[in-house]
Structure 1
């Protein structure tokens, strides 16, 4: 694969960089000129090699600045003329570059945003309301798979597509339980939990982490032993960007059969869609853990009434075994869906990785998993967790929401829990949504034009939909998934201190009782709350 070239065509000496940087901020006054000139000089002093770090620094005057910023930007809602841009982007190729950026940002009063793949739903890995620097980990993306010991070291800048590809290079019967979007960055995905089609069998991506390398607020390079039990616990599902910069993760790989089976069957309302969705709720979380059946809901054109729309339920399945076994299991547990062998396709695990993403062509080579490029959509997402089946009457009310003007690209995804997720204690990692959860709901709506009034119209629709679902989802707290980040839940102050009461508005939905331990860890390891953003774990220290 040809890697994205992150360097300028002409190397720029660091001193000249700082002069250009200062001139670009002339309008802000002498103080800012001096501060940011000093910041770049600080990077020079702390990195140990001025020539090395100068090749991974991009100021706003650099011709590559915009392309580097936008390359890993996945929500164009946060790419407007009014969006505050970073003062500097650093694309470290060595731990010393991260250490220098942290030390110099602290010294010069700049915040840091840490970007792995750029998929944060609210853009918090690349936007800020105050002057900031981006540490973009795209150059730290090596993957070392040890098939014999069933482990892998993965740097945080890698994508899960790259990880899957490298595993398949070494073994056809090893896998990793993470998501299905290949361009998602490992760093954010792992540190927020990371679920996928193997979740009911093996749990989350975060559940497989056995070691990590992190640079902390003091610039120290730590591993599992030196960071201590509490910090190692916190970064596996609590959002690592609140605690430091994770450079790499060591994970356990999991066994899978050489042959798996998939199916996708679609049913509309005329084909008993409402009954099938209702029945799915009591089947998918309780069926054998080797079988995973996701449910996608969307509006489609009716095949029976021209110009009319209807609701389509897509049942998408992965089974760790042969088609004959899957058909028998479905006829026993969910006969209403009417699965027959002709619906099923047998394939390897890596082929299933290619099968599930809707944007991968059917005849695409495996190397497409190495492609980091992707379009930046404009969207708003939300999430819920369900602990009791949603009544058919409530589903019928939900269908009506699909007929509103803003729903052309609305999609709702039901992802079942149960299986191994019931067996992992809710305090094992910060990800607390375990036993008792039937399924997760992911709501997402997109639109084509980034206009303030247009965006607000779609966001308001999503908020109305969310209010409608309130009686039918978890309560006290109404749970949410951090990797489907939603600032509607609440935000922190811009300053270094946010009260527990304010932060708990979003913290309890994401982490429930684990939020208190996360705050305790944060207060110990980053008492001045240097690593912060609108939904970072706050430190309760005022010192």
Structure 2
């Protein structure tokens, strides 16, 4: 077996990270009457060690630890509810202790593995809660002989991709393009990326897991039941317990891939190009992923506001095969050889993560390189092409400057392997019949929220007649409280439950009722029990 093991977990256990500086005696003096904290000490095998990974608001490092893993600054204002404690475990026994003591003392657990959370549900609650931040549980073991990898939930996608590339140039993993995503949340919600049309979702390529249930027992695929294993691959692991690690099936990648990124504006016939893209992107060779990112910009030559679309592409092959394919299937884009760059798969990951200044692949190990800001996101699934008039209506929204903010529309093509997997294979249901997914995102600086959120809601309302309906589908990893909030079966089944999961929702409820009948693991849009 060839493997690479992160030393970060061991460094954290020794306190070398620089953030875990609290000592048990200091915490005891500040919290002598805190039953939860005392419970953690009494139930732990090593009271000194667990005290070093616990932060209360009285601790000087509390704010920096809290903000480190929060990427949506909407949820960092003074009025946002804060956790009673943050626990950054370095081993599984500490998680078991947190579960036991949280149950005993009536605290909710919010599990955080990366902070890429549209609604902040992994680090905000309206009731007393603690955060279980898995950022130090990030070891990675790659086995090229079996083409598998065991990865702890707190590792980022960038760390996983880098570890794979250190062992093999012929293996990859079909996860997201944003390198800083935490693996546990990304994969348990589905997880799509530039190789989805070739190999399916990240969750489609999970073959085993280590999982802690509400009783604190550590389970694997064999001991947890196939129903639970089904549920945590696309149904959101935090509804059922704590995902410790996942065994992933690695996929073959060629020595050479090709990338290109082409911009087109309205003045360059964008409306007709994007209209044609809808008929091509989901049906073209599954080695090719053509994602579209659309912005509103000011045209420097005219000074007028216009729309710019970037056709951002990964092709699992060389230029000589890509060019004839594009000239035959999508000549409207006008791709030339000069637009294309051949590189290794791991280099394409760097470029796909928006590093375009020649950064080395080691940048994928930097968990803080991506900027943080305030944002609101929503999602849709297109099941039929939008007319040119429909796109013209979208442009009208983007002519609005959206003061102090930026609006982005991302179209991600489906088809290929996604058409071959049944919608009941895992909880993620959007398969055959989906042309592409739509992500709406508005980003801004500062605390003011209403103009930006109102803008994106109005755009979402406009899109209703152009996307899936009955139900109108949404993507779990782009959690959206506008779909409804409810912790009971009746509330969830009539709102967000079918939007995320369609016909798979009732099976998820059945699994939840079986494994967590007391509904301990809950939040605003968690799978409910059915009594």
Asked if TM exceeds 0.5, the reply is: yes
Answer yes or no: is the 8 Å Cα contact 1:177–1:205 preserved in 2: yes
* Correspondence 1:97 to 2:87: no
- Indicate whether 1:342 and 2:353 are aligned: no
Contact 1:158 1:186 in 2 (8 A): yes
Q: CA deviation at 1:267?
A: 0.9
* Mapped pair 1:114 → 2:111: yes
CA offset at residue 45 of structure 1? 2.1
SS at match of 2:74: helix
- Structure 2 unaligned segments of length 5 or more: list them: 1-5
1:250 maps to which of 247, 252, 273:
247
Residue 307 (structure 2) aligned to one of 301, 307, 311: 311
Residue 388, structure 1, aligned to residue 398, structure 2:
no
2: CA distance between counterparts of 1:153 and 1:507?
31
Secondary structure of 2:48 counterpart: helix
> CA 1:481–1:364 in 2, change beyond 3 Å: closer, same or farther?
same
Please name the residue that 2:53 is paired with: 56
Q: Deviations over 1:4-49 (max 9, x none)?
A: 86565754126x5244135xxxxxxxxxxx5xx1111111122211
1:412 Cα deviation from its structure 2 partner:
0.1
- Aligned mate of 1:330, from 322, 326, 333: 326
Match status 1:376 vs 2:377: no
Mapping of 1:85-484 within 5 angstroms? 85-306=82-303, 308-358=304-354, 360-373=355-368, 374-406=370-402, 408-450=405-447, 454-484=448-478
How big is the shift at 1:123? 0.6
Task: Decide whether the 8 Å contact of 1:415 with 1:439 is kept in 2.
Answer: yes
Maintained 8 Å contact 1:47/1:99: no
Give the Cα separation in 2 of the matches to 1:221 and 1:167: 26
Change (3 A) 1:10 1:341: closer
In 1, Cα distance between the equivalents of 2:411 and 2:356? 24
Deviations 1:111-145 (A, max 9, x none): 00000001111011111111101110011000001
2:109 alignment partner, SS class: strand
Contact 1:491 1:503 in 2 (8 A): no
| Residue range with higher mean Cα deviation, 125-134 or 371-380 | 371-380
Q: Does 1:540 align with 2:525?
A: no
Worse overlay, 221-230 or 399-408:
399-408
**Contact 1:424/1:434 (CA < 8 Å) preserved in 2?**
yes
Post-superposition CA distance 1:245-285 (Å, at most 9, x none): 00000010000110011111111111110000000000000
Matches within 5 A, 1:74-85: 74-85=71-82
Per the alignment, in what secondary structure is the counterpart of residue 410 of structure 2? Answer: strand
Matched-pair contact (CA < 8 Å) for 1:6–1:68: no
The CA deviation at 1:346 is: 0.4
Taking the aligned partners of 1:330 and 1:414, their CA distance within structure 2 comes to: 18
Q: Is the 8 A contact 2:20 2:53 kept in 1?
A: no
Distance 2:21 2:474 in 1: 46
Task: Tell me, yes or no, if structure 1 residue 17 matches structure 2 residue 27.
Answer: yes
Partners of 2:196 and 2:417 within 8 A in 1: yes
Give, in whole Å, the separation in 1 of the partners of 2:49 and 2:473.
45
Judge conservation of contact 1:295–1:313 (CA < 8 Å) in 2. yes
C-alpha distance in 2 between matches for 1:341 and 1:328: 10
1:60 deviation in Å? 1.1
Number of residue-to-residue matches in the alignment: 518
In structure 2, relative to structure 1, the CA distance for the partners of 1:247 and 1:271 (3 Å cut) is: same
Deviation at 1:504, TM superposition (A): 3.6
Q: Indicate yes or no: 2:508 matched with 1:518.
A: yes
The SS at the match of 1:217 is coil
Displacement over 4 Å in runs of 4+: 1-11
Over the aligned positions, Cα root-mean-square deviation in angstroms equals 1.5
Retained in 1: the 8 A contact 2:21–2:52? Answer: no
Deviations 1:497-534 (A, max 9, x none): x1324444011111100011000000110011100011
- Structure 1 counterpart of 2:481: 487
Q: Secondary structure at the match of 1:86?
A: coil
Contact 1:194 1:205 in 2 (8 A): yes
Q: Alignment partner of 1:158: what SS?
A: coil
Q: Which residue of 1 aligns with 2:519?
A: 529
Cα gap change, 1:438 to 1:341, in 2 (>3 Å): same
Aligned to 1:26: none
Pick closer, same or farther for the CA change 1:9–1:298 going to 2, 3 Å.
closer
